[in-house]
Chains A and B, each alone.
Chain A
Amino acid sequence: TQLLEQSPQFLSIQEGENLTVYCNSSSVFSSLQWYRQEPGEGPVLLVTVVTGGEVKKLKRLTFQFGDARKDSSLHITAAQPGDTGLYLCAGARQAGTALIFGKGTTLSVSS
């Protein structure tokens, strides 16, 4: 059983479109993080959310942590080819414990 259900697994869109990636769980997380990973490299942190209901924006990316701290979403506005990559959500059940990763979303943005 996957502790963090991430969807969709694959997403192929045109430049300029908007998209949302979801990360859901039946468990409560102390914190949730979103990463982007390029092939052959380690994941790079995009954002950390720790407070239920928290919303963070990073340019065209908007991250939200659910009120109950069981789910999160990543919304990208006006996607660009440079956004192409693997996006991963990861949560820690307790502060400082290991991150558990979702299965990832492979995003492809074509011009």
Chain B
Amino acid sequence: GAVVSQHPSWVICKSGTSVKIECRSLDFQATTMFWYRQFPKQSLMLMATSNEGSKATYEQGVEKDKFLINHASLTLSTLTVTSAHPEDSSFYICSARTGDYGYTFGSGTRLTVV
């Protein structure tokens, strides 16, 4: 089946630095990638939708200059958290569309900003 590999699994960074999270589709081409954020004990909240070769569409309240999404190829999408602060600490998950009703999720990245 379709697999999305997400790296890193966890990362700790200092406040003010940037962190890049990668999601690769291993055996299929992901034309559309969705990025979610999940705080402890909460559900997944959609941050943005990216289509290969196009600018990402961000949900209301998500700062596009802070959360940079790049989807330059059909097998790689990246989320860069710029100038990270402790309130950005969260679990970030990507999801690739695999069909009309199919979605494959990455394993998530636990970001801790200290």
Q: Report chain A residues within 8 Å CB of B36.
A: 101
Interface size class of A (residues with CB under 8 A): 20 to 34
Q: Report chain B residues within 8 Å CB of A109.
A: none
Whether B106 pairs with A50 at a CB distance below 8 angstroms is no
Docked complex: A64-111 residues within 8 A CB-CB of B: 88, 90, 92, 95-104, 106
Does B13 count as interface, using CB distance less than 8 angstroms?
no
Whether A98 pairs with B101 at a CB distance below 8 angstroms is no
The B interface is mostly helix, strand or loop, or mixed, namely strand
* Known interface pairs A40-B110, A99-B95; A48-B43 also in contact (CB < 8 Å): no
Q: Report chain B residues within 8 Å CB of A41.
A: 107-108
Using A33-B103, A42-B108, A48-B101 as known contacts, list a sample of 14 further A-B pairs with CB atoms less than 8 Å apart, ordered by residue number in A: A6-B43, A31-B101, A40-B91, A42-B105, A42-B107, A50-B101, A96-B32, A96-B99, A96-B101, A97-B49, A98-B34, A99-B34, A101-B45, A101-B46
